[in-house]
Amino acid sequence: MSGKPDATVWKALLAACRAHRNAALAERAAERLFELAPADAVPYVMLSNVYSAAGRWGDVARVRSLMRARGASKEPGRSWMEQDGAVHEFRAGERDHERAAEIFAKVGEMMQRIEEEEEHTADTGFALHDEGEEGKAAELARHSERLAVAWALISVPPGKPIRVYKNLRVCGDCHTTLKLVAKAYERTIVLRDANCFHHMREGLCSCGDYW
């Protein structure tokens, strides 16, 4: 590079390492990020995702211990959307919404539909806990953006875009899932995560699967 790479560049490289399963390069990128911003939780979580994808659960535990020791706390994931003048907020796995039963049923329907129509299987490498394949898939299915989209499918009239906001970077499995949901339900999903806007339609995303 002609200039000195900043944290944003190193995070982009670290994200690419997850996509290409390159743990060695991910470790180098993460080390630079730890030097630049030791209290930023994002690189720890991203490196942990690289290790979990490789089944290196001992390294996942080591990174989490390092994260705690350096005081880097991960902000809980949450997603929200506005409907009829009210803001509906969702946190991973929480059932506080007044129509939680309907929302979780819709999530189950979404997952079954894209499994049957698109042959989608969860990429459990994005799960952060070693709970067996079924447990990991269930953990991913409870992510906040899926709950928000499920609520939108219930409440937003057909033909109108679904707009969801998330405070963290969307995980790779949720990104794939929402693209396929947009296709299966013939909806446009606009997700604004911590990195960029994702315009999803007909199984594709405006980010080109790099974010």
Give the other-Cβ count within 10 Å of 127's Cβ: 23
Average the pLDDT over 144-163 and give the result. 96
Name which of 165, 113, 183, 99 is nearest 141 in CA terms: 113
- pLDDT band at 34; cut points 50, 70, 90: very high
Q: Which amino acid is at 67?
A: M
What would the pLDDT profile of 167-195 be if each residue is shown by its tens digit?
Answer: 988 988 999 999 999 999 999 999 999 88
Q: What is the DSSP string of 161-173?
A: PEEEEESSPPPHH
| Alpha carbons 189 and 201: distance in angstroms, whole number | 7
What is the pLDDT, as a whole number, of residue 110?
A: 97
What is the pLDDT, as a whole number, of residue 126?
A: 78
| Alpha carbons 143 and 128: distance in angstroms, whole number | 12
* Phi, psi torsion values for 168, nearest 5 degrees: -120, 175
What is the pLDDT, as a whole number, of residue 130?
A: 67
Supply the pTM of this predicted model.
0.81
SS3 183: helix
Whether residue 120 has pLDDT greater than 90: yes
Average the pLDDT over 114-139 and give the result. 84
Contact of 124 with 151, CB cutoff 8 Å: no
What is the pLDDT, as a whole number, of residue 41?
A: 87
Q: Hey, what are 145's tokens?
A: 């953006």
Q: At what angle do helices 7-20 and 23-36 cross, to 10 degrees?
A: 160
Q: Hey, what are 119's tokens?
A: 């042959």
| Alpha carbons 32 and 36: distance in angstroms, whole number | 6
What is the pLDDT, as a whole number, of residue 20?
A: 87
